[in-house]
């Protein structure tokens, strides 16, 4: 007779409830994206709904050689440099502000809350405000001026919060050790602080990029006469009734994923190098 196997107790019923809840959450999160991905390969029937008939790449072709759709390529050529610009400025300002806040100057808290408060202001309202101000000053609104500012008002607070958390954890003894070993202030920043917080800077960059690349409400009135990608998609949903819309969704999602993958893999690479040696 076989010895009875030890029993470690059954899983509680809550496990199954929570697992089901989580499964639902995942389906809700990725289901629509997958639906769009599949339907972007719709055939010439041009149906916007399932089922998928005669899969083809024709709507991707339509996207890049537009006959009926709007200026997708142009929109992408504006959205990408805008996102990169927002990314660079967010990193630069967050890191330098992080250094400043490390020294607890007078009024630091007030400035911090002022910066964070722009997260609460509704994006559309902010968009209107910027447009009105630009009109009043007689400046033309465009993606590289007013929209850049609008996006920064959204990306910067996130960048600041991340950078504060990272620099807050950075032990001051690294800087003191560098000073002890004869490093100047600039050498300390360049050789010690920045390399140590570099993974955090990538995270800030990632936030800056994606927040700008996907931004709709803050772009709406601030981009001027030419659309960024999210606005172009919005326009297409009202004008274009073809799976080209889905193809566009697929392409932009892929771009976002590529950026995230690039950022994460560089963080992992750095950390692996630090823990395993070269």
Stretch that binds another protein, among 116-124, 151-159, 175-183, 209-217 (CB under 8 A): 175-183
Pull the structure tokens for residue 144.
């590289």
Q: Least distance to another protein from the beta carbon of 82, Å?
A: 32
Q: Is 177 among the residues that bind another protein (CB under 8 A)?
A: yes
Residue 94 Cβ vs another protein, minimum distance, rounded to whole Å: 20
Residue 278 CB, shortest distance to another protein, in Å, is 6
CA neighbours within 13 Å on the CB side: how many for 159?
Answer: 30
For the CB of residue 230, give the shortest distance to another protein in the complex, in Å: 37
Establish if 36 lies at the interface with another protein (CB under 8 A). Answer: no
174 binds another protein (CB under 8 A): yes
Where helices occur in the chain by DSSP H, the ranges are 13-39, 58-64, 72-102, 108-117, 123-137, 146-169, 172-180, 185-188, 194-213, 229-239, 244-276
Distance of alpha carbon 150 from alpha carbon 130, whole angstroms: 7
277 binds another protein (CB under 8 A): yes
CA distances from residue 252 to 41, 79, 98, 256, 276 in whole angstroms, order as listed: 15, 11, 32, 6, 36
Is there binding between residue 171 and another protein (CB under 8 A)?
yes
269 lies in the binding site for another protein (CB under 8 A):
no
The reply to whether 186 sits near another protein by the rule CB under 8 A is no
Does position 180 interact with another protein (CB under 8 A)? The reply is yes
Nearest CA to 195 out of 164, 166, 216 is that of 166
Binding to another protein (CB under 8 A) within 116-135 occurs at: none
CB of 104 to another protein, least distance (A): 13
Cα gap 224→141, rounded to integer Å:
5
Q: Say whether residue 106 binds another protein (CB under 8 A).
A: no
Closest CB 98 distance from another protein, rounded Å = 18
Cβ-contact 91, 205 below 8 angstroms: yes
Q: Which two tokens stand for residue 52?
A: 């998928």
**Contact call for residue 14 and another protein (CB under 8 A):** no
Q: Which of 14, 173, 225, 238 binds another protein (CB under 8 A)?
A: 173
146: its two tokens: 């007013």
Identified binder of another protein from the candidate list 176, 239, 260, 265, rule CB under 8 A:
176
Residue 40: count other Cβ atoms within 10 Å of its Cβ.
23
Binding site for another protein (CB under 8 A): 171, 173-174, 176-184, 187, 191-192, 195-196, 198, 270, 273-278
């Amino acid at each position: 007779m076989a010895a009875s196997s030890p029993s470690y107790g059954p899983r509680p019923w809550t496990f199954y409830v929570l697992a089901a809840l989580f499964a639902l959450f995942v389906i809700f999160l990725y289901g629509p994206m997958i639906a769009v991905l599949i339907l972007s390969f719709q055939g010439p029937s041009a149906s916007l709904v399932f089922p998928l008939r005669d899969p083809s790449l024709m709507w991707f072709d339509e996207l890049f050689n537009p006959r009926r759709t709007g200026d997708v390529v142009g929109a992408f050529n504006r959205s990408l440099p805008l996102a990169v610009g927002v990314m660079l400025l967010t990193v630069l300002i967050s890191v330098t502000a992080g250094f400043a806040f490390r020294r607890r100057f007078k009024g630091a808290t007030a400035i911090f809350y002022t910066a964070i408060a722009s997260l609460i202001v509704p994006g559309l309202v902010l968009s209107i405000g910027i447009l009105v101000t630009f009109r009043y000053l007689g400046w033309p609104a465009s993606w590289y001026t007013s929209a850049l500012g609008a996006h920064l008002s959204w990306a910067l607070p996130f960048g600041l919060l991340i950078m504060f958390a990272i620099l807050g954890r950075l032990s001051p003894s690294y800087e003191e050790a560098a000073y002890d070993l004869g490093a100047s202030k600039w050498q300390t920043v360049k050789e010690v602080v920045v390399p140590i917080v570099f993974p955090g800077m990538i995270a800030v960059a990632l936030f800056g990029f994606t927040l700008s690349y996907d931004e709709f409400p803050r772009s709406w009135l601030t981009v001027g006469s030419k659309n960024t990608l999210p606005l172009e998609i919005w326009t297409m949903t009202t004008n274009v009734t073809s799976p080209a819309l889905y193809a566009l969704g697929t392409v932009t999602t892929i771009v976002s994923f590529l950026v995230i993958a690039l950022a994460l893999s560089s963080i992992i690479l750095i950390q692996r190098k630090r823990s395993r040696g070269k």
